[in-house]
Chain A
C-alpha cells in the first residue's frame, strides 16, 4: 500500500480471514486492504470465495479464523456501530415478491433502526430514482425482471448516505445499458466520497470501474493493489513475426532475453521473448535482429494486459473451482 492510503485509513482490512465449510476451504486466509475512498474491485471467477468473504465482512457468517475490521472497527463485535454506515448487495437481490418495489424498500428501511421514519418515503423515492426504477415503484416485485430486481437491490443499499458500499456482482443480469448505468452510479458515489467495494467475475468491468483491485483464486488472494500496480507485475515482451525463427532465437538469446518459439501459423513463425528487467529499447532490438540477418515481417512490444494477468492468476476458461 502507498503512504497516501495509510494516511486515509482502510475501509476494510482483514488478516488471515478464512472460512471452511466442513473440510472444504472456501476462503483461505486472505489479507484484504481496501483504502478509504477507493473503488475496489474484488475480482475472481465463480466459486473463488468472493461472496463468502463478503458475508463474513458483513457479519452474516462467522469466520473460521482471522480478523476483520470495517470502517476501523472490528467485526462482527462492533456490528451495530458499523453496519449503519454500510450499504450492501450480497449474492444478488432478494425481495418479498408480493410487495411492490417501493414497499419492499420501506420494509427493509424499517429494519434499520438508524433510518428516520419522517424521511422514509422521500428517501425510498430518491433511491428508486437514482437507479431508474421510479416508473416501476408500485409494481409488485414478482413482476420485475432480473435486471429490475438488481437495480432495486442497489437502491436498497442507497437508502441512506453510506461511508462504504459493498456490492456483490452488481451488474449480474443487467443489459449493457444497465451495466453502464451502474458504472456511472458507482463513479458518482465515489465522487461523493463513498468507498465502493465491488465484486465481479468480469475483468473488463473492474478495469472500467475501479481504482484498486484484488484478485481471488480458489479462495486465496493472489494479488491486490491499484490497477497500475497490478499491471506492472506483468512484463512487456517482444512479439516478432519472421521467416527466420532460428536466427531470431539466436540473436535474442545473445541480447540476454529468453525467447520462445510460439505457434507458427502460415509461412511465418512467431517468436516471443519477455523483456524482463533488461533495458533494451525496441529500436536496438530491431537493429540487432537486422544485423543478424533476420528478416522482420512484424515487430511489436506488447504491454502486459490486466487480462493476461487475470488469466495467469486464476486459470483460463470456465472451470468452476471445486
Chain B
C-alpha cells in the first residue's frame, strides 16, 4: 500500500449506517435459541396442564369459591383453565421467569465477556439497553401467550367447551371468550413490563447474572408483601404488582378496562423511572468484565 494512503487525521471518514436494527433480530433469535428459554416456556405451559389434569383426576367437586378463583368452574368449562392458570402463575412463577430473562440482559453479556465486544462493535450503549429491554418485553408476551394457548388447548382436550358464564353472571360465546383470553394475556404482559425494567436496571449493576436474577425475583416478592400490609395502603396503588390480579375485571360484562388503564399507567411509571436509572448507570459504566 502506498504511503499516500496514510493521510493525516482527516482520512477517517464516516461509514454509512447500513445495519439498522439487525441486532434486535439477533437478540431475539439468541434469546429463543437458548435451551433455558425453552425450558422456562415449557414450565409455563406445564402450569395449566397440571392444573387441568389434577381437576380431571380428582373426583370431588369443588364448592363455588373454593381454591383459586375460577377453579370450581374448570370442570364445567375448559375455557376457565387458562384464567385459573394465570391467577396461579402471576404471583410467583411468571415473575420468576421474567427475573431470569431481565436479570440476565446486561449481566449475562458481562459475565460472558461479550458485552465488551458488543460495545466496541460499536453498539451504542443506549441502543443496547433498548434492544435488551425489547427482548425481555417480548419474552413477557411469549410467556403469557404460551400460558394462554396451552391453557385453552388442554382445557378443550379434557373438559367440555361452551359459552362462558362470567363473574357478572352474563354469558359470552366461545369466540368472545377466546378474545377475552387474549386480552388477559395482554393485561398480564403489560403487568410484567415494570418488573422487566427493574430487572434490566439491576442487571446493569453487576457482572453476576444469577445475582441480578435473584434480586429481581426478590423485588417482585417484596412488592407483593408490601401490598398486603394495611398500614402501607397509601403505597399500594404505586406498587408495580398492585394490579397484577386485576385482570378479573376483563371477565365482566360489559368489559371493564379501568384496571387495564390504571395498571398500564403504573407500569409506564416504573418503565420510565427504572429506564432512566438503567440509562444513567449504564452509559457511564466502566466495562471491566
The tally of CB-CB contacts under 8 A between chains A and B is 131
User: Once the chains are docked, how many angstroms separate the CA of A62 from the CA of B283?
Assistant: 11
The contact of B12 among A82, A106, A109, by CB within 8 Å, is A82
Contacts of A65 in B (CB 8 A): none
B111 to chain A, nearest CB (A): 9
Residue of A nearest to B115 (CB): A94
Q: Evaluate contact between B287 and A192: CB separation under 8 angstroms.
A: no
Q: Evaluate contact between B18 and A114: CB separation under 8 angstroms.
A: yes
Q: Evaluate contact between B113 and A73: CB separation under 8 angstroms.
A: no
Residues from 113 to 139 in B contacting A, C-beta threshold 8 Å: 113-114, 116-124
Contacts of B7 in A (CB 8 A): 9
Q: Evaluate contact between A111 and B288: CB separation under 8 angstroms.
A: no
Residues from 164 to 186 in B contacting A, C-beta threshold 8 Å: none
The contact of A117 among B18, B30, B35, B116, by CB within 8 Å, is B18
Residue of B nearest to A52 (CB): B288
17 of the cross-chain contacts (CB-CB < 8 Å) are A60-B120, A72-B12, A79-B122, A81-B14, A82-B12, A83-B120, A85-B12, A86-B120, A93-B113, A107-B26, A110-B25, A111-B121, A111-B123, A113-B20, A115-B18, A117-B18, A192-B1
Residue of A nearest to B18 (CB): A116
Task: Report B's interface with A, CB cutoff 8 A.
Answer: 1, 3, 5-12, 14-20, 22-23, 25-26, 30, 33-35, 112-114, 116-124, 284, 286-288
Q: Evaluate contact between A60 and B287: CB separation under 8 angstroms.
A: yes
The contact of A94 among B16, B26, B112, by CB within 8 Å, is B112
Contacts of B113 in A (CB 8 A): 91-94
A71-B12 in contact given A83-B121, A94-B113 (Cβ < 8 Å): yes
User: What 0/1 readout, one digit per residue, does chain A (95-137) give for beta carbons within 8 Å of chain B?
Assistant: 1111100000011111111111100000000000000000000
User: Once the chains are docked, how many angstroms separate the CA of A156 from the CA of B120?
Assistant: 11
User: Once the chains are docked, how many angstroms separate the CA of A59 from the CA of B12?
Assistant: 17
A145 to chain B, nearest CB (A): 17
Contacts of B34 in A (CB 8 A): 98
A111-B9 in contact given A60-B286, A191-B1 (Cβ < 8 Å): no
Q: Evaluate contact between A71 and B9: CB separation under 8 angstroms.
A: yes
For the complex of A and B, 4 pairs with smallest distance between CB atoms = A72-B9, A94-B113, A193-B1, A111-B121
Q: Answer whether residue A58 sits at the interface, using C-beta atoms and an 8 A cutoff.
A: yes
Contacts of B15 in A (CB 8 A): 84-85, 114
User: Once the chains are docked, how many angstroms separate the CA of A97 from the CA of B108?
Assistant: 12
Q: Answer whether residue A36 sits at the interface, using C-beta atoms and an 8 A cutoff.
A: yes
B36 to chain A, nearest CB (A): 9
Q: Evaluate contact between B120 and A99: CB separation under 8 angstroms.
A: no
Q: Answer whether residue A90 sits at the interface, using C-beta atoms and an 8 A cutoff.
A: yes
